[in-house]
Each structure stands twice: as C-alpha cells, then as structure tokens.
C-alpha cells in the first residue's frame, strides 16, 4: 500500500487537541481563551492575482502570481464563560446597572475599534509534538468576526462556529501593510510570556 510515511514522521506529527491562548490586557500575562469542544481549525484565506495582459488569463502563469490579501482565521466552538468572553465577542461594549439589572451594549456600527483595548492581543492556537515541543499560529492582534450563541436543552451554552480573525498590529511605522497578520512558530517551552 503506498504511503507518505517517512522516518521523521513520528517526530513531526502534531497530536491531540490544540489550546487557544491570549494576552490578558489587565495583567499582560497569557491566559487560556477557553474550553473548546469538537476541536479547532486554522484557515489561511488568501486572494491571488496574476499580472493581466492581452492573450493571458486563461490559466495562472508561473512567476506572475502574487498575494493581494491574506488573513488567518482560527475557528472552533468554545463553552461560554460569561461575562469573561463578552469583551472578546463584543469589543468596546459598555455596561450599566439599573434596578439590579446589568445591561451590556455593543459598540455602535461605524465606530473604529480602539487599537490597545478592543483587540484580542497575542491570540494563538498551540499544539504539541511527541517530543514535547510546541508549535503555534500567532495573531499579534485579533477580532472575533463571527459566532453564534448556541443554547440547547441539557447542554452548555456555546460560542458555536466562533471565528477569530487575524489583523495587522497598529504599528505601520515598523511593518508594512503587505506583512502577513500571522506567523507560525516552534519552541521548546510553553510559558505565560510566550
């Protein structure tokens, strides 16, 4: 039976469920994002464009393609911890208490997100290899672009189909708008500051 198995396979394969971490703004220390259910996925979304010319365009031509947009998306279902997740699913919300009722109001449309407070900082999906080293996909800044709040009889409330989208950090003096908004990393020790 043909197989892609090689001698190095067992040392390189990632095992078991990944865990999502983020940097807490109040402490600057990394914390687990939450408890996932059903696994996590990373999706790389890239728009490609070829140089156009008369007679071309029937098929991509080697050496004439380039990325015009790229974003990373980490998706999964998380059990809701309320109100812990509220600041992440509704960045910039306001709250008010009246007659013993706390009302949380999402940020208005057409209002820009605040760079240092409304974005999830250093969001990452971490996996482990058989030798105990770690691999992750790191978003320096992220937003939750979509989710559904699932409630079911005899079941936990969930952020179902939650999609966390990478965004470029607001430091364009140091980076270019062409810079990918995510990186892949490999390291020996998992720490709160990683």
Q: What is the pLDDT of residues 91-125, one digit of tens each?
A: 888 899 999 999 999 999 999 988 878 899 999 99
Q: Is residue 170 a part of any domain in this protein?
A: yes
Which structural domain range is residue 110 located in?
15-49+62-187
Q: Tell me if 60 sits within 8 A of 125, measured CB to CB.
A: no
pLDDT (average), residues 156-183: 81
How many domains, the chain?
1
Per-residue confidence (pLDDT) for residue 33, from 0 to 100: 87
* Look-up of token digits 């996932």: 36
pTM for the model: 0.83
Per-residue confidence (pLDDT) for residue 79, from 0 to 100: 85
d(CA 86, CA 37): 19
Model confidence at 73: pLDDT above 70? yes
CATH number of the domain at 30, please. Answer: 2.30.110
Q: Tell me if 170 sits within 8 A of 117, measured CB to CB.
A: no
Vertex 135 angle, CA 73 and 178, to 5°: 45
Q: Is residue 3 a part of any domain in this protein?
A: no
CB atoms near residue 103 (< 10 Å):
10
Q: Is residue 82 a part of any domain in this protein?
A: yes
Q: Is residue 28 a part of any domain in this protein?
A: yes
Per-residue confidence (pLDDT) for residue 13, from 0 to 100: 80
Q: Is residue 7 a part of any domain in this protein?
A: no
Q: Is residue 130 a part of any domain in this protein?
A: yes
Q: Is residue 127 a part of any domain in this protein?
A: yes
Model confidence at 17: pLDDT above 90? no
d(CA 184, CA 122): 13
Q: Is residue 29 a part of any domain in this protein?
A: yes
pLDDT (average), residues 173-182: 78
Model confidence at 194: pLDDT above 70? no
């Amino acid at each position: 039976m043909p197989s892609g198995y090689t001698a190095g396979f067992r040392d390189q394969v990632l095992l078991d469920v990944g865990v999502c971490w983020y940097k807490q703004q109040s402490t600057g220390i990394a914390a687990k994002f939450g408890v996932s259910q059903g696994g996590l996925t990373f999706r790389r979304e890239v728009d490609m464009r070829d140089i156009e010319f008369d007679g071309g365009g029937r098929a991509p031509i080697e050496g004439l393609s380039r990325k015009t947009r790229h974003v990373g998306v980490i998706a999964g279902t998380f059990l809701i911890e309320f109100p812990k997740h509220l600041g992440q699913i509704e960045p910039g919300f306001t709250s008010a208490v009246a007659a013993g009722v706390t009302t949380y109001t999402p940020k208005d449309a057409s209002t820009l997100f605040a760079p240092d407070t409304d974005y999830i900082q250093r969001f990452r999906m971490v996996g482990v290899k058989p030798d105990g080293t770690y691999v992750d996909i790191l978003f320096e800044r992220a937003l939750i672009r979509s989710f559904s709040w699932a409630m079911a009889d005899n079941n936990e409330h969930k952020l179902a189909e939650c999609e966390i989208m990478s965004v470029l950090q607001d430091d364009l003096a140091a980076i270019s708008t062409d810079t990918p908004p995510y990186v892949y990393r490999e390291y020996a020790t998992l720490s709160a500051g990683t």
